[in-house]
Amino acid sequence: MQTNGQANNAGENEKGMPDFNAEENISETSHMTNALEVEPEEELIKKDQQLNEMRDKYLRLQAEFDNFRKRTAKERLELLQTAGKEVIISLLDVLDDSERAAKQLSTANDITALKDGVNLVFNKLKTTLQAKGLKPMESLHATFDTDLHDAITEIPAPTPDLQGKVVDVLQEGYYLNDKLIRHAKVIVGK
């Protein structure tokens, strides 16, 4: 019989009786232990492969995004440069007309013809810029708006209905494709 501090001998159960299935239980347990050790090892290998695949996908996606970002920045820069080029090309005709008008100033005797020539150049410039989307702001006698106007000074309103309104425009404001690109410099009636 056993004492409390002693372990069971192999082949005996808790009551000290011979256990006929002890060897079978021991071999099953060791077989299960081996199976459990093998499965986690295989799972570990699978998980490691999955991790490597995910890491590879992540790196490829990151590289693809980086290339996309660089390509987009390059295309944007090219677009801005091309847009500027188109505006300059459209203004070359106006520049040519201005040069011809400047040459005529030194030799012309007819002031009316000079005025007409300058007006033609000015109108051509306005037409070219309007074709590119430039639109002047109509500020005179409009209600003063800090989002559209820069007040240079205030003067007493000539009539009561012009109080808080634009009395004079010192510099036109402009929109480019309905977006404000320059505030109008104005004098406001008080």
Domains and CATH numbers, the chain: 20-132 (3.90.20), 135-190 (2.30.22.10)
Collect contacts of 159-162 with beta carbons under 8 A, ≥24 apart: 162/189
Burial class (CB in 10 A: 0-12, 13-18, 19+), 163: middle
The confidence band for 107, taking pLDDT boundaries of 50, 70 and 90, is: confident
Over residues 1-16, the mean pLDDT reads 51
| Angstrom distance (rounded) from CA 26 to CA 169 | 103
Range from 78-87, 137-146, 177-186 carrying the lowest mean pLDDT:
78-87
pTM of the predicted structure, to 2 decimals: 0.56
In the chain, where do the E strands start and end? 134-136, 149-155, 166-171, 174-176, 179-182, 184-189
In the numeric block, which tokens belong to residue 169? 């425009």
Paired with 155 in beta bridges are 189
Q: How far apart are CA 50 and CA 13, in angstroms?
A: 46
% of the chain exceeding 70 in pLDDT: 80
Strand order in the sheet with 174-176: 134-136, 174-176, 179-182
Name the phi and psi angles at 159, rounded to 5: -135, 155
Please give the Cα distance from 168 to 157 (Å, whole number).
Answer: 11
Of residues 50 and 10, which shows the higher confidence score?
A: 50
Mean pLDDT of 55-84: 92
Report whether pLDDT(16) > 80: no
Cβ–Cβ under 8 Å, residues 184 and 148: yes
CB 150 within 8 A of CB 184: yes
pLDDT at res. 37: 57
